[in-house]
Amino acid sequence: MEPTIKINIFYVILSIMLAIVQVAILNTNSTSGEKLTDYLQEINHYENENTNLSQQIASSSALVVISERARQYGFTKDRTMISLDKPIPVAYSNQTP
Q: What does the binding site for another protein look like in residue numbers (CB under 8 A)?
A: 26, 29-30, 32-34, 36-37, 48, 51-52, 54-55, 58-59, 61-64, 67, 79, 81, 83
Task: Please state, as a whole number, how many other Cβ atoms lie within 10 Å of the Cβ of residue 76.
Answer: 7
Cβ proximity to another protein: between 1 and 82 the closer is 82
Residue 59: partners with Cβ closer than 8 Å, 6 or more residues away? 65
Distance in Å, CB of 28 to another protein, minimum? 10
Distance in Å, CB of 42 to another protein, minimum? 15
